[in-house]
Amino acid sequence: MILDPDHSALLIVDVQYDFCPGGALGVPDGDSVIAPINAVVGSFTHVVATQDWHPENHVSFASAWEGRQLYETVAADGIPQVLWPDHCVRGSRGAALHEGLELDRVSLILRKGTRRELDSYSALFENDRSTHTGLDGWLRAVGVKVLCISGLATDYCVYFTAIDALRLGYEVIVLADAVRGVGVPPGSVARSIDRMKASGVLFLDSREIG
């Protein structure tokens, strides 16, 4: 392990059935993040998993908007919102964490996107970019300074988590082989990776840290 285990955390973002192939918002090849995550999880003292966890009729669901199309971007209270298929409805099978994930080392499972009117891509802030989810407080309290991010989706929840973590002063590593993107709109995966790299995120393969 090249990282100091006392001051680093593995964050497993939204590895839920709805984001895996066959799910309501299936990320191409999404379940292939599981093997590299399981390969490194034993090296970390601090492991957090997040779960996208929406009420029915959530603001991010195209079905909640009259006359709007799937994947269209609208303004919800002035905040840009992509309209998704209904996904990760709290308590549903699609919202469950994938059972292939090795969860024994996870000490915190954080649910986000729980308010009907405000989405939360980032694990750190809701989409107004100022309402804390509480994760920053937890990470600080246990002494984490380096955040190692894995999971789904590269261009949404991973991306916003990484950018927010930099903004909060964490050192941020994205595990390149342990993330996959949704690719809506086309080009968004490459664009999000370019932006993360330009902002100071380090991309490493799981075998480089494990």
Q: Which residue is nearest to Zn ion (CB)?
A: 52
Q: How far apart are CA 122 and CA 129, in angstroms?
A: 9
Phi/psi of residue 108, nearest 5 degrees: -135, 130
∠ at Cα 206 (3, 166), nearest 5°? 60
User: Would you say 119 or 136 has its CB closer to ligand VGL?
Assistant: 119
Name the helix (H) or strand (E) containing 34: helix 34-41
Does residue 52 interact with ligand VGL by CB under 6 A? yes
14 contact choice in ligand VGL, Zn ion, none (CB below 5 to 8 Å, kind-dependent): ligand VGL
88 a catalytic residue? no
197 a catalytic residue? no
Does residue 125 interact with ligand VGL by CB under 6 A? no
Instruction: List, in sequence order, every residue forming a beta bridge with 115; answer none if it has no partner.
Output: none
Query: Cβ distance 28 to 180 under 8 Å?
Result: yes
Q: How far apart are CA 125 and CA 80, in angstroms?
A: 15
Window 37-66: residues binding Zn ion (CB under 5 A): 52
157 contact choice in Zn ion, ligand VGL, none (CB below 5 to 8 Å, kind-dependent): ligand VGL
Phi/psi of residue 151, nearest 5 degrees: 115, -150
From 52, 157, 164, 177, the catalytic residue: 157
User: Would you say 41 or 151 has its CB closer to Zn ion?
Assistant: 151
Q: Interface residues with Zn ion (CB under 5 A)?
A: 52
Q: Site residues (CB under 6 A) for ligand VGL? A: 14, 19, 52, 60, 84, 121, 152-153, 156-157
